[in-house]
Structure 1
Amino acid sequence: MSLETWWPRLQQDSRDWLIAHNGEALSQHVVQDIERVGGPVPTEAWWLGEVGPDGLRLSDAAVDWIEEAANGEVPEPARGTS
């Protein structure tokens, strides 16, 4: 499921956390909320960045998308991706 689809379905506290901590490794609560609304995190998703010792990170494109959403802009959907 694409970020554009799961974003509005997240709990407000998860969206607030993603905005406040944009670019950081995701908290376990946020990962669980994404999985709650979108199913298991697909490894090929455009919005998925690196998975490292500190956890899952979003891609640069996803960080930009969230920043646009946080600024009240309407981010462009990613084309041909999930």
Structure 2
Amino acid sequence: MEIAEWWPKLTHATRDWLLANNGDAVPAEIMTEIAAAGGPGKSEPWWTNQIDSDGFYFPDDASDWVEAVANDERPS
């Protein structure tokens, strides 16, 4: 499922956190909420190449999408 499909299913607080912390490691509880909303689970390839010692990160294209939303632009 694409980010545009599961994003509206996240709580307002989670969306606000993701907008304010775009590019930061995503906390486990937010990853769980993303998966419950129909987004990628922790073991899915979407996250696989985005892991380092700090945790899991959105892939570049997803971070770009979030940045567009944060700037009141239409994400591609």
TM-score (norm: length of structure 1): 0.78
CA distance in 1, matches of 2:69, 2:19: 9
Offset at 1:6?
0.8
**Richer in strand (by share):** 1
Q: How big is each residue's C-alpha offset from its partner over 1:15-74, in whole Å with a ceiling of 9 and x where there is no partner? A: 00101110011011210110111155231x3xx451122111011111111010111111
Which residue does 1:60 correspond to in 2?
60
Regions of 4+ moved over 3 Å? none
- 8 Å contact kept, 1:14–1:29: no
Which residue does 2:20 correspond to in 1?
20
Gapped regions of structure 1 (runs ≥ 5): 77-82
TM-score (norm: length of structure 2): 0.83
- 8 Å contact kept, 2:22–2:66: yes
CA distance in 2, matches of 1:2, 1:13: 20
Which residue does 1:74 correspond to in 2?
74
| Percent identity between the two aligned chains | 38
1:30 aligns with 2:30: yes
Corresponding residue SS for 2:37: helix
Which residue does 1:80 correspond to in 2?
none
Gapped regions of structure 2 (runs ≥ 5): none
